[in-house]
Amino acid sequence: MYLFNQIKLENFRNFDSFTINLSNVCNIIHGLNGSGKTNLLESISLFERGRGFRKDNLSNMINNNNNVMFKIKAKFINGKNDLDLLLSSKLHVNKLKKELLVNGSNSVESIKYFENLYSIIWFLPEMERIFLERPSLRRNFLDRLIYGVDKIYLKIVNNFKKKIIERSQILKKNSYDEDWINQVEREIVDYSIIIYRKRIEHIKILNSILFSLKILKKSFFQFELKMNDDLFKNYSIFDEELKSFFLLELKNARKFDSIIGGCKVGPHKTDIYGEQIEKNFNLAQCSTGQQKAIIILIIIAQCKYLTDSLNRRPIILFDEVCSHLDENNRKLLLELINSLDVQTFMTGTEKNFFSFLSTKANYYNIS
């Protein structure tokens, strides 16, 4: 069992000093709006690489009442070797950065050891209408799930983004070295192919697990996830000719990209969508409550893959999960808590919103 046993916040967001001891199953954080429920979940999400689920600047996370950096201390249970974690903001060459210490060490080995123990999956209010929102929200959701399985994936995505920026900077010049941009575009294609294949492989895994879920068959319609990209109109992702076609598309788009900016083709243009299997309708047609249920089902499938196939225990963050919580959604949340050995956090303004969880949850009032 891998879980956060205790969190201590110092000078973080609205907290001067705050400590909470946590349950290994379901933790309900309730309180008035503005009390800091989401801030607490954000502090946990920061233990993953990146800027947490808000993707905010570190400077905005520092409590303005004090002129000091924030600290997030945590006790992490690892079964054999419990870990003391310290995550803080540090000033490096006039730029704020995160620093993580694992048992007092910031060595690459210590950080990798901790990162490979677990993954964090989050559900935020804006994800309730995920199949109606912009494609980037769906791409980011899938990419976070892939990163929970393969920690190298985030580096590949970041390298791809850097090469896109480098190409844009080259195209802004009146004249440029042809060999230089050819090399950059080859690297863009190489990173893109990896991203495409990872996405396709993970969608296939999720669809397989979703199809086998008993609760889905009992209380919800069968659906499957799909990926749409203009590059695949004539070629399969596993077709060797795709690489040459992709390079030609990049070359042909240089003039367009130099005027508009960015890059016309690539995995940053992909859309992830879903279809109901029997009636073949797009999941964008589903109600808000149904779309929430779909995301919860995908999270259940991800958890089952991590626990059953990789022996890894994810940690689930549900922020303001109670809106549009119909009977199906309650069943799905109970399924997540009862059948999967994972640590879960949920926030809401009222304790009685979670009465359906009965004795399965521990409640914490933030006032």
Contacts 24+ apart (CB under 8 A), 200-208: 200/227, 200/237, 202/142, 202/145, 202/146, 202/149, 203/142, 203/227, 203/272, 205/305, 206/145, 206/298, 206/301, 206/302, 206/305
Can you give the pLDDT at residue 44?
Answer: 96
Closest of 329, 224, 332 to residue 283, by C-alpha: 224
Average pLDDT over residues 147-167: 95
Residue 219 pLDDT more than 80? Answer: no
3-state SS of 68-116 is: CCCEEEEEEECCCCCEEEEEEEEEECCEEEEEEEECCECCHHHHHHHHC
0.85 surpassed by pTM: yes
* Domain range 135-285, its CATH number among 3.40.50.720, 1.20.1050.90, 3.30.420.40, 1.10.10.2520: 1.20.1050.90
Q: What pLDDT band is residue 197 in, cutting at 50, 70 and 90? A: very high
What the block records as the tokens of 35 is 């009390």
> In whole angstroms, what separates CA 2 from the centre of its chain?
18
Q: What pLDDT band is residue 161 in, cutting at 50, 70 and 90? A: very high
Q: How far apart are CA 223 and CA 68, in angstroms?
A: 50
Q: How far apart are CA 200 and CA 240, in angstroms?
A: 16
Q: How far apart are CA 208 and CA 224, in angstroms?
A: 9
Distances (CA, A) of 203 to 180, 230, 286: 35, 18, 20
Q: How far apart are CA 118 and CA 96, in angstroms?
A: 26
Closest of 42, 47, 129 to residue 87, by C-alpha: 47
Q: What pLDDT band is residue 282 in, cutting at 50, 70 and 90? A: very high
Better-scored residue on pLDDT, 281 or 228: 228
Can you give the pLDDT at residue 235?
Answer: 82
Average pLDDT over residues 162-180: 94
Q: What angle do CA 102, 108, 112 make, to 5 degrees?
A: 70
Domain ranges of the chain: 1-131+315-367, 135-285
Can you give the pLDDT at residue 278?
Answer: 80
Q: Model confidence over 21-57: pLDDT tens digits?
A: 998 889 999 999 999 999 999 999 999 988 999 999 9
Average pLDDT over residues 134-150: 95
Q: How far apart are CA 300 and CA 297, in angstroms?
A: 5
**Taking all residues of the chain, what is their mean pLDDT, rounded to a whole number?**
90
Can you give the pLDDT at residue 273?
Answer: 95
Average pLDDT over residues 321-339: 80
Better-scored residue on pLDDT, 213 or 38: 38
Q: How far apart are CA 52 and CA 98, in angstroms?
A: 11
Residues contacting residue 115 through CB under 8 Å, at least 6 positions apart: 48, 49, 151
Q: Within 13 A of 218's CA, how many CA atoms are on the CB side? A: 9
Average pLDDT over residues 337-355: 87
Average pLDDT over residues 287-313: 90
User: What top-level class would CATH report for the domain 1-131+315-367?
Assistant: alpha beta
Q: How far apart are CA 199 and CA 225, in angstroms?
A: 11
Can you give the pLDDT at residue 347?
Answer: 94
Tell me what percent of the residues of the chain surpass a pLDDT of 90. 65
Can you give the pLDDT at residue 251?
Answer: 96
Distances (CA, A) of 22 to 19, 75, 196, 319: 10, 10, 38, 17
Q: Model confidence over 54-76: pLDDT tens digits?
A: 999 999 999 876 668 999 999 99
Neighbours of 76 (CB within 10 A): 22
What region, left, alpha or beta, does residue 142 occupy, with left being phi > 0 and alpha being psi -120 to 50 degrees? alpha
Can you give the pLDDT at residue 67?
Answer: 67
Residue 124 pLDDT more than 70? Answer: yes
Can you give the pLDDT at residue 189?
Answer: 96
Q: What pLDDT band is residue 357 in, cutting at 50, 70 and 90? A: confident
Can you give the pLDDT at residue 66?
Answer: 62
Better-scored residue on pLDDT, 354 or 66: 354
Strands 343-348 and 315-318: parallel
φ and ψ at residue 281, rounded to 5 degrees: -110, 150
Q: Model confidence over 92-112: pLDDT tens digits?
A: 888 899 999 999 999 999 999
